[in-house]
Amino acid sequence: MRPFVAPMLWLAAMAAPVHAQDVVKLPSSTQPSVSRPDDLFKLAPGQWHFARQLWTGQDPCDEKICEAGFTSGDLVVSVERSDKFVRIIAGLKACESVGFSELETGSRPGKYTRKKLVALVDDVVKGVSKTCNIPGRVTVPLDAALMFPR
């Protein structure tokens, strides 16, 4: 039994290598249609704002649609939920680059998925900050449960 343990541990370690998230710059012809949510710079800084669609008003979130917005003055983050999917968009005022990611959460995500969403917001902000060489971070963590009212 013992001779098989070392090779099995080696195979297990090689089977799932851990890689850092890559920041990829796309040519303008293949870029997705995602733009920095400049309208969110008008929000009060330092806190998350929740609404059905922040650009149309302060209607409360419903079971299918919700948007959360954050700005720190230089950084803007939009987290948009449409039924079972969430899109995160982040940008810095002094930089053209926009970071974004999408996550399938389902209509009633559990604690694990909500934590994953909060971590993904941080990853997107770190990615756009790295691309722009400008430090930016969300000082108030997203309360993801508010995006999924019951």
Using only C-alpha atoms, the chain has a radius of gyration, in whole angstroms, of 19
In a domain, 88, yes or no: yes
Classify residue 5: in a domain, yes or no: no
The model's pLDDT over 21-30, given as tens digits with 9 standing for 90+, comes to 566 666 666 6
pLDDT in tens, 27-76: 666 656 788 898 899 999 999 999 999 988 888 998 899 999 999 989 99
Question: Half-sphere exposure of 78 toward its Cβ, with a 13 Å CA cutoff?
Answer: 27
Q: Averaging pLDDT over each range in 8-12, 110-114, 139-143, which range is the top one?
A: 110-114
The C-alpha atoms of residue 60 and residue 76 are separated, in whole angstroms, by 21
pLDDT at 78 over 60: yes
pLDDT(20) > 80: no
Average pLDDT over residues 141-145: 90
Smallest Cα–Cα separation from 76: which of 63, 67, 85? 67
Q: Is residue 9 part of a domain?
A: no
Q: Is residue 77 part of a domain?
A: yes
Residue 88 to residue 16: CA distance in whole angstroms: 27
The number of domains in the chain is: 1
Entry pTM: 0.76
Q: Is residue 18 part of a domain?
A: no
Could you list the residue range(s) of the whole structural domain that residue 74 is in? 34-147
Domain assignment present for 137: yes
Q: What pLDDT shows up at residue 3?
A: 59
Residue 98 in tokens: 């926009």
Q: Is 81 left (phi over 0), alpha (psi -120 to 50) or beta?
A: beta
pLDDT of residue 87: 94
**Using CA atoms, how far apart are residues 63 and 23, in angstroms rounded to an integer?**
33
What pLDDT, in 10s, does the model give residues 105-132? 988 899 999 999 999 999 999 999 999 9
For residue 126, being part of any structural domain is answered with: yes
Contact assessment for residue 98 and residue 89, using Cβ atoms and an 8 Å cutoff: yes
